[in-house]
Amino acid sequence: MAKLGSSEHPAVVRVRTEGKAVEIARICKENGWHFIIGIESDKREDISDVTRLLGSLKTTDKNEQKTSIGRNDTCPCGSGLKYKNCRIKKEGKG
């Protein structure tokens, strides 16, 4: 299946007002997502596809902002070992 927000699998949104549709369209355009918006004032709003896409952005941002190294992360020295087991780290302590 194609990635959500792509031309093959656009985000599908149902809103109640034109203002909300404009807001959702702006968010989608800013992020380069393909979307379909329906305005139906008599039905319940469904913006779950856009919410899901926004959630994936936040997850990516959190990973990029990570500044500390956890003991189970790969050591930045390039050894390929976990930080807690890195030979270089152990030599530095030794």
Assess contact for 57 and 69: CB atoms under 8 A: no
Provide the whole-model pTM.
0.60
- The reported pLDDT for the residue numbered 94 is 43
CB neighbourhood size of 63 (10 A): 8
Rounded to the nearest integer, the mean pLDDT of the chain is 83
**For the segment 5-47, what is each residue's pLDDT rounded down to a tens digit?**
999 999 999 999 999 999 999 999 999 999 999 999 999 999 9
Nearest-angstrom CA–CA distance, 42 and 57: 31
Q: Which of helix, strand or coil describes residue 81?
A: coil
Parse the chain into domains and list their residue ranges: 11-68
Q: Give the span between the Cα atoms of 53 and 31, in whole angstroms.
A: 9
Confidence category of residue 59, pLDDT binned at 50, 70, 90 = low
